[in-house]
Amino acid sequence: MEAESTLSLWAQCDRIDTLFIVFCCAACWLVVPAIGLAFSGYSIRRNGLASYFPALLTIIFVSLQWWAWGYSIAFGEGNAFAGNVTSHLFHRNVSAAPVGTIPEVVFSTFQMIFCATVCALAVGGAAERGRLISLVPFIVLWATFVYCPLAHMVWTETGALASLGVLDFAGGTPVHICSGASATALSVYLSRPLFRSRRSSKRTPSHIRLHKPHNIPSMLCAMVLIWSCWLPFEAGTALALNFKAVMAFCVTNAAAAAGAATWTLLAYLESGRMSLDAAVLGMIAGLVMITPAGGFVGMSDAVVMGVLGALACRVFLRFKSSTLATQKLRWVDPADMFASHALGGVVATLATGFFASREVAAYDGATSIAGGALHDGHWRQLLIQAVEAAVGLTWSFCASYAIIAAIDLVPGLEVLSTDEDLARGMDAAQMEESLSGAHADDEQDDYEPISPPHRIVI
């Protein structure tokens, strides 16, 4: 009888829409390891694998957390701030019941990948300094107490921010502001630890010197994967294969291209040479800008937003190397999360309130909004967006800081690596393997050939 009931519910779902979202899930999953590739490419050689591995930890442990209780907190019935943890505990009753036109289990999986993506970005704040074992409890606690409540507030009908009328299509606040503020909390704590890491004479807050990316192929692969896979990330948020999904796909590409072009050309005007780093940062700025607006703006507005995002994030990024940041505050943000995602997400959230169009929002045949300031004269939307950004920024930073500080209190989970480990490299200190095969600059690659020299094995 249970099987018959499930099949009856499945019959109510649209097969094409379901296949579309399943494809989006598979494509969006690749964003998580791509984020790891980006962080690995930006780190020094001896930290390459240890900078990549946290992204894999997020998809592993977020998948389990989401199945156990995360989905209940984020999308279960509850109050204005969080869902009831028992409503779908261990995915109880999450099966073929339609959410829109797709099965709830597919909807849950798509949203889980969102959570893992945000978490992979957030743990970038610990790159090159944070101990990997300490990130495991951080990932589970962060997903439970930071992301899930924020997603509930923004994306459920009864959520506190949704009730205000915020416009956030695919996560300006739950994705970018949340990840940027959380990563900033990690980098701030590791720059000035409070508890066990501070009391340890072996864990003085050593600071990373600003350095150029060490692995250009990793950056190139990350750029290709993130750009291409963010298109279904945005389109899939429509939860159906309709014209709104098609438009979201197209405007996302336009914004990414505009951001990459702007940053690349500005870098060329400064140095007289092209830069892959500039193209990557510009692409990210464009994607950050379009994420909350993908279902509300047309092509022209998307291009303008991409340009504005690149200009804004480029200005914000200069703070990283300023005297105030490096000497007075003694703060290092190795993954550039504060400028590109935290502040960039704030600009994107506000820009969505300005450029949003009532007409574009209705491309799915169901959504009705008051519109934005530019096209519909709804200037109040800017205030609503500002409230959303402020809540997301404050909650994400404070809660993330409290979580990492609490973990630092636990013996054996000190979050800051020792000075000796930092000198050796995080691959040698915390991983069984190394991307380069050598753990120190003066070591030879420690491999043995599997065949005699000059012999080709096919």
Would you call 167 exposed, middle or buried from its count of C-beta atoms within 10 A (0-12, 13-18, 19+)? Answer: buried
When comparing pLDDT for 150 and 43, which is higher? 150
pLDDT band at residue 319, thresholds of 50, 70 and 90?
Answer: confident
Q: Is the pLDDT of residue 452 over 60?
A: no
Domain ranges of the chain: 2-430
195-199: average pLDDT: 73
Q: Report the percent of the chain where pLDDT is more than 90.
A: 79
9-22: average pLDDT: 97
pLDDT band at residue 259, thresholds of 50, 70 and 90?
Answer: very high
Would you call 198 exposed, middle or buried from its count of C-beta atoms within 10 A (0-12, 13-18, 19+)? Answer: middle
pLDDT band at residue 450, thresholds of 50, 70 and 90?
Answer: very low
pLDDT band at residue 456, thresholds of 50, 70 and 90?
Answer: very low
pLDDT band at residue 193, thresholds of 50, 70 and 90?
Answer: confident
pLDDT at 87 (0 to 100): 92
Q: Is the pLDDT of residue 445 over 60?
A: no
pLDDT at 334 (0 to 100): 81
Q: What confidence tens digit (pLDDT) does each residue in 381-406 have?
A: 999 999 999 999 999 999 999 999 99
Sequence-distant (6+) residues with CB within 8 A of 110 are: 21, 24, 25, 28, 236, 239
pLDDT band at residue 440, thresholds of 50, 70 and 90?
Answer: very low
What class does CATH assign to 2-430?
mainly alpha
Q: Is the pLDDT of residue 449 over 90?
A: no
Q: What confidence tens digit (pLDDT) does each residue in 235-245 have?
A: 999 999 999 99
Q: Is the pLDDT of residue 105 over 90?
A: yes
Q: Which residues of 252-286 are buried (b: 16+ CB within 10 A; e: fewer)?
A: bbbbbbbbbbbbbeebeeeeeeeeebbbbbbbbbb
Q: Is the pLDDT of residue 443 over 70?
A: no
